[in-house]
Structure 1
């Protein structure tokens, strides 16, 4: 698959670390020019510099994906620097886990705004450029939590919403040569999963051993597993795939 993204330009949101960072590295290894959009500009710049020192063309831009003005400005800057946009990965996300009776409106609003509103704003901006060039790929990062998960009524709702958004955007944008798909990761070892373990009063090792019991593939998922799926769905090999939800979870989903 080497070089499958030669002359392609990608935006990956929330990519200063974790899954997003792995996707950036994979895309660059395949020849893409990549823009990292993140509220953590220092982290995004550190990753961009790290990649550019070796080989790559990566820029880092500060962007709150739930802010329409910042989204518009960031996308405009990407077009100014790279000339076009071929791939958007809506990866930005946060968690504010709590049981329903303890969950505040702010916990709800923050998660819904970043995941759902953020993906909406970025996709709406991306399609302006993709429709005119009659091609493009949009990947939404959902989660196995879309099927329901205790203590995550906000996160589960947002991730399930992304699946509905994916199918609907695929219907609307398909006639313009734009494919829209979603990846639903299972347990992937990132800083976010460490925070979930802490919330449950467990060490990461205890949390991992608990989850491994339900997995068919007896290992913890890595960010690179999701990056591989994103690379495939964004490639020409997946040109006849749209509106699909790909679970990358080491298990069946029911």
Structure 2
């Protein structure tokens, strides 16, 4: 039970990669609070998590309401008395060629991904300092490799990588680890992308050395467990490519 009684926040935890991580973590003893805008999926996931961790729960929230993010963190700490792990997973974007990308699509990507990550990290900092906790943020090959039609998404993801490295340096003295997962997974978002751009999807699949997209719980979730556990205490500021070998950083 690598995460026994560790209180963990996962944004976008009602399904997809967030749900996969939530399931993997409760099976290792974590108390997981999923924060998601989708009430139906959130309640369904809450029931699944409570089979392993009765104290786990779902909070419905719109992460674009940035002024409320501090209140969410404080509500969770008030309930459980601590915070050990923050996972910033939620992100929404649209696919458009760079020259045709309007400000509204850039705003969507930053308001759902970058700014919630920023504000939740600021709100969580004093509590993570107390617990010598962990932050797991999310990057993407879209930014690292520059995927077509992903300009707004790539910009926000690379901005998240930037602040993750800064906080890894600033918070290391406090015993807080900040790391980044860059996944390739069989998530609902990837399935939608496969339908929208089947040829591009197949081209990406053909370049995965391990020959498949990752499983949200067994592949991505297990790495998240590692980064949230004591096993990773000497790792910080790193981008972990959980992508079947697609991108091999130098």
Q: Same fold (TM over 0.5)?
A: yes
> 2:211: which partner in 1?
218
Q: 1:209 aligns with which of 202, 205, 220?
A: 202
Query: What TM-score do the two structures reach when normalised by structure 1?
Result: 0.92
Separation of aligned partners in 1, 2:245 and 2:49: 33
Residue 209 (structure 1) shift: 3.4
How many residues matched? 246
**Is residue 223 of structure 2 the alignment partner of residue 229 of structure 1?**
yes
Separation of aligned partners in 1, 2:152 and 2:94: 8
Separation of aligned partners in 1, 2:108 and 2:153: 10
* Secondary structure in structure 2 of the residue aligned to 1:10: strand
> 2:157: which partner in 1?
159
Separation of aligned partners in 2, 1:252 and 1:193: 15
Contact 1:108 1:154 in 2 (8 A): yes
**Equivalent runs, 1:1-254 vs 2, <5 Å:** 3-53=1-51, 55-131=53-129, 133-147=130-144, 148-186=146-184, 188-200=185-197, 202=198, 208-224=201-217, 225-253=219-247
- Where does structure 1 lack aligned partners over 5 or more consecutive residues? none
Question: What are the Cα deviations for residues 147-166 of structure 1, in whole angstroms up to 9, with x where unaligned?
Answer: 21100000111111111111
Contact 2:26 2:52 in 1 (8 A): no
Question: What are the Cα deviations for residues 214-238 of structure 1, in whole angstroms up to 9, with x where unaligned?
Answer: 1111122121211111111111111
Separation of aligned partners in 1, 2:65 and 2:169: 26
* Secondary structure in structure 1 of the residue aligned to 2:56: strand
Residue 198 (structure 1) shift: 2.8
Pairwise CA RMSD: 1.6
Residue 134 (structure 1) shift: 5.0
Separation of aligned partners in 1, 2:160 and 2:21: 19
Residue 54 (structure 1) shift: 5.2
- Where does structure 2 lack aligned partners over 5 or more consecutive residues? none
Query: What TM-score do the two structures reach when normalised by structure 2?
Result: 0.93
Contact 1:134 1:176 in 2 (8 A): no
